[in-house]
Chains A and B, each alone.
Chain A
Amino acid sequence: MSVLVGKDTRLCVQGITGKSGAFHTRNCMEYGTNVVAGITPARGGEMFDDKVPVFDTVHEAREQTGCNATMIFVPPEFAADAILEAADAGVELIVCITEGIPVMDMMRAKEMLRRSNSRLIGPNCPGIITPGACKIGIMPGYIHKPGHIGVVSRSGTLTYEAVWQLTSRGHGQSTCIGIGGDPIIGTTTLDAVQLFAADPDTHGIILIGEIGGTAEEEAAAWLKENCDKPVAGFIAGATAPPGRRMGHAGAIISGGQGTAGAKKDALRAAGIAVAETPSTIADTLLAVMK
């Protein structure tokens, strides 16, 4: 009825006693997420809001509460280590909200994750939500509605924009995954569309991308060969100045790929309906779902 998270999710929160960790944990609990543990080193034995036991390590939390997902709010300098700790403890799903993690740290963390059984979402992402069942992240819960459209996006507020368009037109979502905008991320656009393609309760997919990289092109190529579900896409950044982030060599690596135009062409070539403006994302999908 959804992908990755639902009513069976038992969440722990790494960095639960920090300011934003505490704030968003409360929001998730209010939404109905089953938060079973919190982690703050040297604070083990405390209770968070008289409801959630705090542990010193993820390993202890895993052993004593059986948590199967974690939400990370640890500051950027320690976040890659928090990801590795969760993976070593065997937590199946790791959602890292933290923004500003050094690329070298993520590069090593991603390499370690390849040798584990854990899946990472993020970092620098809004998180993942299965409306009406489980919210892991910082997205406003009320804009969502249970339903049958899967949403994957590299951008936070742009996802809210698309979700809100769907909800205001009466269409709910199976699961929405914010994969994050960093250069190195865990779950990719391709991974997410594969999950939606395999989920019988997802009847249509919205794919929101940005300029840079080749993630949308790879997802489009796979969808063309392997998925019959209707898909709509939007790519942000058609007017962004080129080459601001990386100098010459960066442009060489991306070659002709990575521009908004090239990405839209790749989506169209795969039979995906492309929204020309961000205000028509939901309508573009609904038009091809009829």
Chain B
Amino acid sequence: MNIHEYQAKELLERFGVDTPRGHMASTAAEAEKNARELGTNSLVVKAQIHAGGRGKGTFTSGFQGGVHLCKTAGQARDFAAKMLGQTLVTHQTGPEGRLVNQVLVAESVEIEKEFYFAVLMDRATGAPVIVASREGGMDIEHVAETSPEKIIREAVDPAFGLQPYQTRKLARELGFAPSQMRAACKLFASLYRCFSALDCSMVEINPLVLTTGGKVLALDAKFSFDDNALFRHPEIVALRDVAEEDPREVAASKHHLSYIGLDGNIGCMVNGAGLAMATMDIIKHHGGSPANFLDVGGGASEEQVTEAFKILLSDPKVKAILVNIFGGIMKCDVIAHGVLNAVKALKLNIPLVVRLEGTNVEEGRKLLADSNLPIASASDLDDAAVQIVALAPKE
């Protein structure tokens, strides 16, 4: 789950991480009011969408740029009016762009130096780790590739958390002067508290800045939350903006299905994440191209199978469907009923290959065979992949 920049800023402030002064506005009048209250002639207006590359983006109205510097509240109002209610296209949004419903009006700070600073869960050690660099504001993956020596790592003890001495060590390694250390250490400690208290899997500050006035501020932040822990953070769930998400992924999550859209034309429905990935792999191995990852879980009902078909068919790229179920707890006859119902209800008119194995497999296969519907049955996983690749149009 992702959140907007202004929401990230509010979360950081709650934990004592300093950010540039500013507030969200959803109307031009509100933007003007916020700008006036800041009492400065150094302002910035930023369109709020989840995708990156806003500064270099273009609105479908023709207006250039989703981030603008200005000096007066009137100018802030004008910029907000040109962004709100408009669609912003950036290199991350795809050609359809994203609708801007809010802008952030903030003080624009003068930057002395930029840094990269992130706290994340390292699965190799099962503990949090700090990743930081003096090369802030840049593509950090590029830095890690070209000059790995510029990446600083500091492991955090899972039982004790980030210790004060570690914040001092990090501040010095990042090159903060002795007079700036107190501010830097406070920010690092506060950021770790935020990471831990909100069950984040990652908080990334890029850039973290030292201002010409000697302040240490988080200029932009990206949060990733642990989905498993959202039950105890209703305040985070409330920040979710479904308008920013793939509607098919939203529909899938509503029915407890796990769906990720891809570029191919063979829709896949599988039980279990590992088998779902392996099914995508074997389709590719035989020269086809999967349209999605879809895991219906360990105990899918007939209704979930129907919903899964609806989600697959809502993707216009899908020209053939492969169902691969290894029924353990799930019974194959139940799955077969679900498939038959879905095929009838949705008047399926593209090729369908079904591979069933496991509990009650004979009953399941018989149901499909006796249905007189155009469903091809596969004897094993390899056969299923060969059949569906032959039936799907070549891309």
User: Could you list which residues of chain A lie within 8 angstroms of chain B, going by C-beta atoms?
Assistant: 76-77, 100-108, 110-111, 126, 138-140, 142-143, 153-161, 164, 181, 183-184, 208, 210-214, 234, 236-241, 244, 246-253, 255, 260, 276-280
Query: In the complex where A103-B199, A108-B158, A160-B358 touch, is A252 in contact with B281 (Cβ < 8 A)?
Result: no
CB pair A156–B282 under 8 Å, yes or no, is no
Contact of A155 among B231, B273, B357 (CB under 8 A): B273
Q: Which of B31-39, B99-107, B121-129, B172-180 contacts A (4 or more CB under 8 A)?
A: B121-129
Contact of B275 among A158, A213, A240 (CB under 8 A): A158
Query: In the complex where A240-B293, A241-B260 touch, is A184 in contact with B273 (Cβ < 8 A)?
Result: no
Contact of A210 among B226, B277, B283 (CB under 8 A): B277
CB pair B274–A107 under 8 Å, yes or no, is no
Q: Measured between alpha carbons, how far is A139 from B359 in the docked complex, in Å?
A: 11
Q: Give me the 3 closest cross-chain CB pairs, A-B, nearest first.
A: A155-B274, A157-B272, A102-B229
Q: Measured between alpha carbons, how far is A143 from B270 in the docked complex, in Å?
A: 19
Q: Measured between alpha carbons, how far is A252 from B283 in the docked complex, in Å?
A: 29
Interface string of B297-319 (1 = CB under 8 A from A): 01000000000000000000000
Neighbouring A residues of B327 by C-beta, 8 Å:
140
Neighbouring B residues of A276 by C-beta, 8 Å:
285
Neighbouring B residues of A153 by C-beta, 8 Å:
274
Is B224 in the interface zone, CB < 8 Å from A?
yes
Q: Measured between alpha carbons, how far is A279 from B260 in the docked complex, in Å?
A: 23
Contact of B298 among A103, A138, A143 (CB under 8 A): A138
CB pair A103–B121 under 8 Å, yes or no, is yes
Cβ of B54 to closest chain A Cβ, rounded Å:
16
Q: Measured between alpha carbons, how far is A208 from B382 in the docked complex, in Å?
A: 18
CB pair B131–A278 under 8 Å, yes or no, is no
Neighbouring A residues of B271 by C-beta, 8 Å:
157
Q: Which of B127-154 contact A (CB under 8 A)?
A: 127-129, 131, 139-141, 144, 151
Neighbouring A residues of B274 by C-beta, 8 Å:
153-159, 181, 208, 210, 236
Q: Using a Cβ cutoff of 8 Å, how many contacts connect chains A and B?
A: 176
Interface string of B212-238 (1 = CB under 8 A from A): 000000000010101011011000000
Q: Measured between alpha carbons, how far is A126 from B282 in the docked complex, in Å?
A: 23
CB pair B273–A111 under 8 Å, yes or no, is no
Q: Measured between alpha carbons, how far is A238 from B222 in the docked complex, in Å?
A: 28
Neighbouring A residues of B129 by C-beta, 8 Å:
253
Contact of A252 among B128, B144, B279, B326 (CB under 8 A): B144
Q: Measured between alpha carbons, how far is A117 from B262 in the docked complex, in Å?
A: 45
Q: Measured between alpha carbons, how far is A184 from B228 in the docked complex, in Å?
A: 13
Contact of B280 among A126, A139, A239, A244 (CB under 8 A): A239
CB pair B382–A156 under 8 Å, yes or no, is no
CB pair A249–B202 under 8 Å, yes or no, is yes
Is B196 in the interface zone, CB < 8 Å from A?
yes
Cβ of A24 to closest chain B Cβ, rounded Å:
8
Neighbouring B residues of A104 by C-beta, 8 Å:
196, 199, 226, 229
CB pair B158–A156 under 8 Å, yes or no, is no
Is B88 in the interface zone, CB < 8 Å from A?
no
25 contacts between A and B (CB under 8 A): A102-B226, A102-B228, A102-B232, A103-B226, A103-B229, A107-B128, A126-B328, A138-B298, A139-B328, A157-B270, A157-B298, A161-B278, A161-B357, A164-B358, A181-B274, A184-B123, A212-B123, A239-B281, A248-B204, A249-B120, A249-B131, A277-B281, A277-B285, A277-B381, A277-B382
CB pair B122–A253 under 8 Å, yes or no, is yes
CB pair B224–A247 under 8 Å, yes or no, is yes
Query: In the complex where A101-B228, A157-B271 touch, is A237 in contact with B202 (Cβ < 8 A)?
Result: no
Neighbouring A residues of B123 by C-beta, 8 Å:
183-184, 212-213, 253
Closest to A155 in B: B274
CB pair A278–B281 under 8 Å, yes or no, is yes
Closest to A210 in B: B274
Neighbouring B residues of A214 by C-beta, 8 Å:
124
Neighbouring B residues of A138 by C-beta, 8 Å:
298, 328-329
Cβ of A21 to closest chain B Cβ, rounded Å:
13
Closest to B383 in A: A279
CB pair B277–A252 under 8 Å, yes or no, is no
Is B362 in the interface zone, CB < 8 Å from A?
no
Is B201 in the interface zone, CB < 8 Å from A?
yes
Is B380 in the interface zone, CB < 8 Å from A?
yes
Neighbouring A residues of B49 by C-beta, 8 Å:
none
Neighbouring A residues of B282 by C-beta, 8 Å:
277-279
Neighbouring A residues of B127 by C-beta, 8 Å:
107
Q: Measured between alpha carbons, how far is A279 from B385 in the docked complex, in Å?
A: 10
Closest to A185 in B: B126
Kindly list 17 other residue pairs between chains A and B, CB separation below 8 angstroms, not including A241-B260, A255-B144.
A107-B126, A156-B272, A157-B272, A164-B326, A181-B274, A214-B124, A236-B274, A239-B277, A239-B284, A240-B280, A246-B201, A247-B224, A252-B140, A253-B129, A260-B281, A276-B285, A278-B275
Q: Measured between alpha carbons, how far is A252 from B206 in the docked complex, in Å?
A: 15
CB pair B232–A77 under 8 Å, yes or no, is yes
Q: Measured between alpha carbons, how far is A29 from B94 in the docked complex, in Å?
A: 54
Query: In the complex where A155-B273, A156-B272, A277-B382 touch, is A238 in contact with B284 (Cβ < 8 A)?
Result: yes
Neighbouring B residues of A279 by C-beta, 8 Å:
282, 380-382, 385
CB pair B329–A140 under 8 Å, yes or no, is yes
